[in-house]
Amino acid sequence: MSPHVIRPDGDPVGRCDRSLTVTVDGMPVAGVHGQTLATVLLGDGRSHWRTATTGSPRGVFCGIGVCFDCVATVNGVADVRLCRRPARDGDTVATQTRLAGETK
């Protein structure tokens, strides 16, 4: 899946999306209401936001909330599945790692 963001002023369908901003590891990321947090991050060009115990990167795998590969910390709550969580203006997302000796 490759992210492709259509600016509202260039949308051939003529939608009037309401923008929102979430903060990911201290950086602002733009999205629109109706997106999940995973799609906001994918639209920002991020393919992963968690590191497994093996050191491998994890992001969206199933996209329907079954696999738990896309978990991150949202507003201080750990292990939130970003593919299932609607993005809300002002959300704070922190990437997670499961590497031994590391916490994030």
What pLDDT is attached to residue 73?
95
- Alpha-carbon gap, residue 54 to 71, rounded angstroms: 16
- Alpha-carbon gap, residue 47 to 50, rounded angstroms: 10
Task: Please name every residue paired with 4 in a beta bridge, in sequence order, or none if there are none.
Answer: none
pLDDT tens per residue across span 66-83? 888 889 999 999 999 999
- Does position 27 have pLDDT exceeding 80, yes or no? yes
- Does position 1 have pLDDT exceeding 50, yes or no? no
User: Can you list the domains of the chain with their CATH numbers?
Assistant: 21-97 (3.10.20.440)
Which of the pair, 7 or 57, is modelled with greater confidence?
A: 57
Is residue 22 packed enough to be buried (19+ CB in 10 Å), middle (13-18) or exposed (0-12)? buried
pTM of the model: 0.79
- Alpha-carbon gap, residue 91 to 33, rounded angstroms: 12
Mean pLDDT score of the chain: 86
- Does position 11 have pLDDT exceeding 80, yes or no? no
